[in-house]
Amino acid sequence: GAVVSQHPSWVICKSGTSVKIECRSLDFQATTMFWYRQFPKQSLMLMATSNEGSKATYEQGVEKDKFLINHASLTLSTLTVTSAHPEDSSFYICSASTGKGYNEQFFGPGTRLTVL
Amino acid sequence: EDQVTQSPEALRLQEGESSSLNCSYTVSGLRGLFWYRQDPGKGPEFLFTLYSAGEEKEKERLKATLTKKESFLHITAPKPEDSATYLCAVEDQFYFGTGTSLTVIP
């Protein structure tokens, strides 16, 4: 149980285009979903927290207009990187939780984004 | 400024050679400390949550302990399949450390 999937697992796009990444909780309903970014040899950085049906809460320094998050249902959250640039290339990981805190997070396998 | 520091950055052990990984933190109000395992190209896998100084938790060859300033992840008689990056995270807001890359040599 407690499986979280992400799609796509990797994506390559041209600079200036937008990319959508999906995060799904497959066998449970996720009250809260989190989005992280991980650069090579660095740790995960929390980007935003989203609760179903409400606006996402972004961490300081994360551009909300660039990283659009939609948590449309209890099993699906999407992250859209708008007008992507090479510096947005990273490993994006989502997690899902049945609670409102950071405990009991189940992580997805991640999405590798490369912007050319 | 809140910080989470893990040491060492990398650790190579012979199979069966026990050791400990360190996670030091400076947060104003710790609400929980988490340990995760991350394999290359994958998301973290939850191992433990610790809430108060003196607390200990065990799972197979792993044992996590917590003091007021740091946490240790003890690995007893490791096997090659324990090779991974081990991450700690602290909840004040939510910060991950940079991880310890563990390699266990057969």
| A9 phi-psi bin (left φ>0, alpha ψ -120 to 50, beta other) | alpha
**What is residue A102's three-state secondary structure?**
coil
Task: Give the span between the Cα atoms of A69 and A65, in whole angstroms.
Answer: 9
Q: Which residue type sits at A20?
A: K
Q: Does B2 score more than 80 pLDDT?
A: no
Q: Which residue type sits at A45?
A: M
> Tell me, what's the pLDDT at A43?
86
| Chain A residues within 8 A of B87 when measuring between CB atoms | 43-44
Tens digits of per-residue pLDDT, B61-71?
999 999 989 99
Give, for all 116 residues of chain A, the pLDDT tens digit. 689 999 999 999 999 999 999 999 999 998 899 999 998 888 899 999 998 888 899 999 999 999 999 988 899 999 999 999 999 999 999 999 987 678 778 999 999 999 99
Maximum Cα interatomic distance, chain B, rounded to a whole number of Å: 42
| A44 to B32: CB separation less than 8 angstroms, yes or no | no
Q: Are B45 and A107 in contact (CB under 8 A)?
A: yes
Q: Which residue, among A88, A78, A65, has the nearest Cα to A35 in the 3D structure?
A: A78
A67 and chain B: CB distance < 8 Å anywhere?
A: no
| B46 to A59: CB separation less than 8 angstroms, yes or no | no
